[in-house]
Structure 1
């Protein structure tokens, strides 16, 4: 079973939204103010006190202001280095400086520098839990995006073990790391937990979970999960398309096409890819008549382009569903719009089968003018049309042209010998 598609993590930066642990004015707040709830209330680590060194107030203020300003990443790093170089800096001063320098380095795309700062922030162990574990998650995301998956896995395992967190982002990151490492079976448990804990739905984790099931050959679990997701919100187009893909990969084409056709009736197929997917499924099931209907509807709605490529597919759909007049009409319209002569060649061959020889010759010559991979095919069509129009000499000349093409040489020479007796 094929995976839905590979996934790559975007860069993630986990910093505490509330700057209760990084705000230089924190020590001047009113005692009556309620502290923000802890992000990791079940952590086994004893959280150090968030206390700045009073004599470093100006330096920390400058650092904080640079960090909060747009486009001041280099200034943030420089201000952090000033704090780090000060012998009076305490554990909290240093931890915050390292954390903010690491975050700024991520924004600058300097991943190795970010890794250095964040590792030091964790190893010096001076940050309160909210910042300490958020630094681990930031470092994990940088590791993941640099394909250092084993290091990321060890760090994420540590976060989960030490915090007993219920944060779905942590499990999503853990599952994504395992997924991107090709450890699909191991990725399933954290991805499922991320989805279970997420209040608003976690589309990326769901997509990775479905792909992980697919990669491990667990078709039934993948489909059951996708069905549950779709039933939860039948208006969710992405869920519907994921389920249709899984049905198709599991050779349940009837279910796939029924789902897509129902989506069409509900107006959920809104772009060309949607219609192509539906008519392609019908083609795969040898239900060309329905494929033709879908294509014609897509063109009528302006969703499918009425170009040479689409009309070529429509012509074939009509031809294989035995609607020859409709096939000819589609090919006649699409031939001049095509970038090559293949559709005109198809038209010439169909017209020849219908004994419309004059039209067949004209279409074949149009095909030659537009260009063909195997021009001998067009000369074969011209030769047949000439022969059945009782123009033997012209047919012989056309067969000689066809014999110049390696793809039709043997066939043309045999036909030429037969009509030259």
Structure 2
């Protein structure tokens, strides 16, 4: 269970305390508290909320400090004072322990809170609303502190003793199982939470369920769930992206691309990674380079994709492999100056050589050399060929000689030198 959900449970417990245990008129409210019983099916008979009159002043001050939220340590100090008083009855001790535990939570001191909350339950003197709220809170704290066995045991005890139909209780149980890597149990608990929530699933429940299916290799179940959620919320971007991701992970690239492209046409893709995911899927599909190029160009036009070397390089590659060579060259020309390395300029030079644009190829190869290359021989080979086709034979021989110094191009360069030296 996430930290956020633990905090939510703490707030809930505090609200119940404040609503049902104003010590000054506890007896007057007993009838009202019974009517507002949060656990009407509980097997436990709710004890009478009767405090020791001599301790009422300290108890009220403890409540005031806790409810004001400014002095949690002060509330704990008074609670300890009450616990040390031999006149304190079980109810007084239960209240003091409950407040001390929740005050420790307010200080984010979870290890300190646990023994207070455990002892509050052991006293067995709190009214049902507070007794079971303390169980719920303690279970969430166990989960937060990586004590899954204790957390599950506490939740199961609470369910057994309250006959709870609260979906949040089962969602908490699902979260504990999930964090413990118990995915079959996670699925069962999430499905129970959804059932009790009239078939509706919160986002974090859905994420746990789909992730559990994935962990268990139940990709079909994960996809089916994602499709159902997307059908219910077709305009929800997160749900759509989850489904597209699952399609891609399960080898359904066509479905992933179709879904993401429909979202693009609706204007739902608004972030850099949205466009990157779509064009990456197209580039990994046979014959879809032209579609990838369109997506990249649109992302650039909308300033969603950055105009950097990486983006222009992908654009160039997409255009080149979809037989749009002139466009590829222009994209490479934009990418090369932005690339700190020389690899992009080298790729540009090689394409220009193939297009018999030798002067431009030579210039691009020089640019690559100026930026530094791991294999400079490749650039020298481009320069040598460019010089050769421009009938600059002496310059070509000199460039081939440079290429021969690189082990990666030595054999190729030496063969070329032998041929042009005849």
Same fold judged by TM-score > 0.5?
yes
Q: Distance in 1 between matches of 2:143 and 2:31?
A: 42
SS state of the match for residue 222, structure 2? Answer: helix
Q: Distance in 1 between matches of 2:210 and 2:364?
A: 49
Q: Is the 8 A contact 2:6 2:144 kept in 1?
A: no
| 1:20 is the counterpart of 2:19 | yes
Q: 1:108 to 1:323 in 2, by over 3 A?
A: same
Following superposition, the deviation at residue 393 of structure 1 comes to 3.8
Query: Which residue of structure 2 aligns with residue 357 of structure 1?
Result: 358
Query: Which residue of structure 2 aligns with residue 179 of structure 1?
Result: 178
CA deviations over 1:300-359 (Å, ceiling 9, x no partner): 112111222111111111111111111111111122223333322221121111111211
Query: Which residue of structure 1 aligns with residue 148 of structure 2?
Result: 149
Q: Is the 8 A contact 1:172 1:205 kept in 2?
A: yes
Query: Which residue of structure 2 aligns with residue 314 of structure 1?
Result: 315
Query: Which residue of structure 2 aligns with residue 135 of structure 1?
Result: 134
Q: How does 1:24-43 map to 2 (within 5 A)?
A: 24-27=23-26, 29=28, 37-43=36-42
Following superposition, the deviation at residue 373 of structure 1 comes to 4.4
Following superposition, the deviation at residue 414 of structure 1 comes to 5.0
CA deviations over 1:20-70 (Å, ceiling 9, x no partner): 333323416567857663332222222222233222222122222221234
| 1:253 is the counterpart of 2:253 | yes
Following superposition, the deviation at residue 257 of structure 1 comes to 1.1
Gap runs ≥5 in structure 1: 1-6
- 265-274 or 379-388: bigger deviation: 379-388
Q: 1:103 to 1:382 in 2, by over 3 A?
A: farther
Query: Which residue of structure 1 aligns with residue 237 of structure 2?
Result: 237
Query: Which residue of structure 2 aligns with residue 296 of structure 1?
Result: 297
Q: 1:57 to 1:318 in 2, by over 3 A?
A: same
CA deviations over 1:63-99 (Å, ceiling 9, x no partner): 2222123443322322322222222222232223222
Q: Is the 8 A contact 1:245 1:256 kept in 2?
A: yes
Query: Which residue of structure 1 aligns with residue 386 of structure 2?
Result: 385
- 203-212 or 47-56: bigger deviation: 47-56
SS state of the match for residue 6, structure 2? Answer: coil
- 233-242 or 60-69: bigger deviation: 60-69
Q: Is the 8 A contact 1:91 1:126 kept in 2?
A: yes
| 1:282 is the counterpart of 2:282 | yes
Following superposition, the deviation at residue 211 of structure 1 comes to 0.7
SS state of the match for residue 328, structure 1? Answer: helix
Query: Which residue of structure 2 aligns with residue 189 of structure 1?
Result: 188
Q: 1:85 to 1:374 in 2, by over 3 A?
A: farther
Query: Which residue of structure 2 aligns with residue 267 of structure 1?
Result: 267
Aligned residues: 415
Q: Distance in 1 between matches of 2:388 and 2:227?
A: 59
- 16-25 or 356-365: bigger deviation: 16-25
SS state of the match for residue 316, structure 1? Answer: helix
Q: Distance in 2 between matches of 1:34 and 1:159?
A: 20
Give TM-score, length-normalised by structure 1: 0.90
Following superposition, the deviation at residue 212 of structure 1 comes to 0.7
SS state of the match for residue 12, structure 1? Answer: helix
Give TM-score, length-normalised by structure 2: 0.90
- 29-38 or 280-289: bigger deviation: 29-38
Higher relative contact order (Cα pairs below 8 Å, separated by 6+ residues): 1
SS state of the match for residue 213, structure 1? Answer: helix
Q: 1:354 to 1:66 in 2, by over 3 A?
A: same
Q: Distance in 1 between matches of 2:334 and 2:35?
A: 68
Q: Distance in 2 between matches of 1:119 and 1:98?
A: 9
Q: How does 1:165-176 map to 2 (within 5 A)?
A: 165-176=164-175
Q: Distance in 2 between matches of 1:298 and 1:25?
A: 65
Q: Distance in 2 between matches of 1:138 and 1:403?
A: 74
Q: 1:255 to 1:32 in 2, by over 3 A?
A: same
Query: Which residue of structure 2 aligns with residue 118 of structure 1?
Result: 117
Query: Which residue of structure 1 aligns with residue 330 of structure 2?
Result: 329
Q: 1:56 to 1:226 in 2, by over 3 A?
A: same
Q: Distance in 1 between matches of 2:132 and 2:210?
A: 29
SS state of the match for residue 17, structure 1? Answer: helix
Higher Rg: 2
SS state of the match for residue 22, structure 2? Answer: coil
Query: Which residue of structure 2 aligns with residue 45 of structure 1?
Result: 44
Q: Distance in 1 between matches of 2:196 and 2:405?
A: 69
- 229-238 or 26-35: bigger deviation: 26-35
Query: Which residue of structure 2 aligns with residue 161 of structure 1?
Result: 160
Q: How does 1:21-100 map to 2 (within 5 A)?
A: 21-27=20-26, 29=28, 37-100=36-99
CA deviations over 1:85-136 (Å, ceiling 9, x no partner): 2222222322232222222323333221122222222222222222222222
- 212-221 or 394-403: bigger deviation: 394-403
